Structure 1
Amino acid sequence: MDHQLLVFTTVVEKENFSRAAEELHMTQPAVSQYIQALEQQIGTRLLERSNKFVRLNMAGEIVYHHAKEILGHYTRMQYLVDDLMNKASGNLFIGASYSFGEYVLPQMISNMLEDYPLIKPSITIRNSKRIVNLIIKNELEIGIVEGEFNHQSLNIEPFAEDLMYVAVAANHPFSRQKNITKQELESETWIIREEGSGTREAADKMFKTLTLNPTNKMEFGSTQIIKESVESGIGISLLSKWAIQRELSSGTLHVIEYEGLPVRRKFSIVTRTVPFQTKAMEIFLKLLREQ
């Protein structure tokens, strides 16, 4: 940074050599020498001095205007360089279950990249059990899963609550029915996820808690396929509200009211127990915890 310009603008703004020297942690003679050197370089006096005040003359007005602009560029340049040198960057391997990975994670990644464009995320979407296994095998750095897990080499941190509802097609009789019986629910075709899925675990717990024993179940391996199947009237399903927000807004799906619903569950962050984390990982974990 040009110290002559810094000293000059400080003198102008403090209107006094002594106050400027105090602000800059310099001696008053040193401040005077900087001003004299600048005036010699410019080729004219810039300040009108008296025992009571220091004021700009016309030449000083011009120099002060441009000095402030130049110092502003210096400051911004330093900010940009510091930001670049300290910016989170590099690869970040993230895994997520279908509900979170397909319906929540994309917007989070978009928000992160706006502020940290040097981070290069790689996303893997699998069921919760598979994500945990990939973390254990060191193929992923961070996992977001549903359900309950415990492993001695993993940190598992619940961070968000999800509400799950029984969804039906908009033209399904349940969408207009207020008092649905247990027998009616059991007689429906239930579309459920595969073993190892957090959504499947939630559905199994719901059946047990509500003492439901459906006679007809269909097992699909994707939340998106389940939603489309429910919309088309093939069956009904327990789904995360995050996953069906768009369909609820558009009116293609409807959620039913029944005692014990909605089902509450937790999403958890899964990481390996390691002595340090990359800055990219720290940034993403912070975003997750603020979600």
Structure 2
Amino acid sequence: MKYSLKQLAVFDAVASLESVSAASRKLSLTQSAVSMSLSQLETLLDRPLFIRHGNRLILSHWGEWLRPKARKLLQDAQQIELGLHDEHLISGQFEMCSSQTAAKHLLPELISKIDMDFPELRIGFTVKNTKNVLEGVLNYEYQLGIIEGRCDDNRIQQKSWIDDHLVVISSPRHPFARHETVSLAQLEQAKWVLREEGAGTRRIFDAAIHGLIEHINVWKEYESVSVLKSLVERGVYLSCLPYLDVKRDVEEGKLIILNTPQLNMSRSLSFIWRTDALDNPLRDCVLSEARRLTTRLSKEQKIPIQR
């Protein structure tokens, strides 16, 4: 093998930033050094790895094929380096990606705690829907993900973090808000605003109504939970969202949780990582701190852990 880890690191940086100049700043190299390293790698592999679109460098077919493999090699190299310097095991860069609920309600406190206790650990953090979190972990973009619901892909290791549940919400002015229970027939007649396809919340809702409601009237789909809640507050629509996302709005009287006894929408928020990933002290640190956080919050009754 004639290519180097440095060349792969340059390739990955350019792929992430789509720019030689931006990659040179990230890697603290000159632009000419980055360009030379990239050119050498393409020559060694005898494949074009990028296609130029204006000022942007977009991955070619071969670049898309190479990137997850390069990321895995770079992650493994980082773990080897940490293992050889065990006095600094909890240090370095660690990339995470989370779905919205955990990102909003749990991760700020978790990352803040880790920053105080492990100041040499730098956590990069991205928010996406469950489908994209899974894809990012599988493509070695992130070393750890947080998703909503189950994952049956044998390439993924999954560890439950907390139990949660979804609720059907309305405005206090909605006609259904006066009902002690809301039937499936009434839910079928309603106008709905829901999360987009691929969101964990949407998958759980669709699974809950499958075989019970033949057709649901989905008026709009949005990624933003705040937008969905604002639309529901206006009195026309119903939505289905995690309890953690609507708890405060319900306590303030802005929203109502409808009693829908025929729907079972319990779920777990879970950590995921690749099954083939090496042992990782940084990942173990995050998982351990997350477990401590939810134990404390459940005792303070700040999160609705169901057993």
TM interval, short-chain normalised: 0.5 to 0.7
Superposition pairs of residues 1-291 of structure 1, within 5 angstroms: 85-86=87-88, 88-208=90-210, 210-211=212-213, 213-261=215-263, 263-274=265-276, 276-290=278-292, 291=294
Task: Tell me the distance in 1 between the aligned counterparts of 2:273 and 2:132.
Answer: 14
Task: Tell me the distance in 1 between the aligned counterparts of 2:216 and 2:155.
Answer: 38
Cα 1:172/1:117, change in 2 over 3 Å: farther
TM-superposed CA distance for 1:158, in Å, is 2.6
8 Å Cα contact 1:193-1:222 kept in structure 2: yes
Task: Tell me the distance in 1 between the aligned counterparts of 2:204 and 2:261.
Answer: 16
Superimposed CA distance per residue, residues 175-202 of structure 1 (whole angstroms, 9 cap, x where no aligned partner): 2321333332222111111111111101
Task: Tell me the distance in 2 between the aligned counterparts of 1:252 and 1:236.
Answer: 13
Cα 1:253/1:86, change in 2 over 3 Å: same
8 Å Cα contact 2:167-2:242 kept in structure 1: yes
Cα 1:275/1:166, change in 2 over 3 Å: closer
8 Å Cα contact 1:165-1:262 kept in structure 2: no
8 Å Cα contact 2:174-2:236 kept in structure 1: no
8 Å Cα contact 1:193-1:220 kept in structure 2: yes
Superimposed CA distance per residue, residues 2-43 of structure 1 (whole angstroms, 9 cap, x where no aligned partner): xxxxxxxxxxxxxxxxxxxxxxxxxxxxxxxxxxxxxxxxxx
Letter in 2 for 1:134: G
TM-superposed CA distance for 1:102, in Å, is 2.1
Alignment TM-score, normalising by the size of structure 2: 0.62
Q: Name structure 2 gaps, 5 residues minimum.
A: 1-86, 295-307
Task: Tell me the distance in 2 between the aligned counterparts of 1:249 and 1:105.
Answer: 22
Task: Tell me the distance in 2 between the aligned counterparts of 1:214 and 1:154.
Answer: 32
Letter in 1 for 2:262: G
8 Å Cα contact 1:231-1:252 kept in structure 2: yes
Cα 1:187/1:91, change in 2 over 3 Å: same
Task: Tell me the distance in 2 between the aligned counterparts of 1:118 and 1:250.
Answer: 40
Cα 1:234/1:277, change in 2 over 3 Å: farther
Task: Tell me the distance in 2 between the aligned counterparts of 1:234 and 1:117.
Answer: 48
Alignment TM-score, normalising by the size of structure 1: 0.65
SS of the aligned residue for 1:201 comes to helix
8 Å Cα contact 1:89-1:279 kept in structure 2: no
Task: Tell me the distance in 1 between the aligned counterparts of 2:229 and 2:284.
Answer: 34
Task: Tell me the distance in 1 between the aligned counterparts of 2:277 and 2:170.
Answer: 47
8 Å Cα contact 2:194-2:218 kept in structure 1: no
Structure showing greater Rg: 1
8 Å Cα contact 2:208-2:264 kept in structure 1: no
Task: Tell me the distance in 1 between the aligned counterparts of 2:108 and 2:236.
Answer: 29
Q: How many residues align?
A: 208
Task: Tell me the distance in 2 between the aligned counterparts of 1:111 and 1:231.
Answer: 34
Q: Which moved more, 1:107-116 or 1:127-136?
A: 107-116
TM-superposed CA distance for 1:246, in Å, is 1.7
Cα 1:277/1:86, change in 2 over 3 Å: same
Kindly report structure 1 stretches of 4+ aligned residues shifted beyond 6 Å.
Answer: none
Task: Tell me the distance in 2 between the aligned counterparts of 1:126 and 1:188.
Answer: 28
Letter in 2 for 1:283: C
TM-superposed CA distance for 1:222, in Å, is 2.1
Letter in 1 for 2:118: Y
Alignment identity in percent? Answer: 26
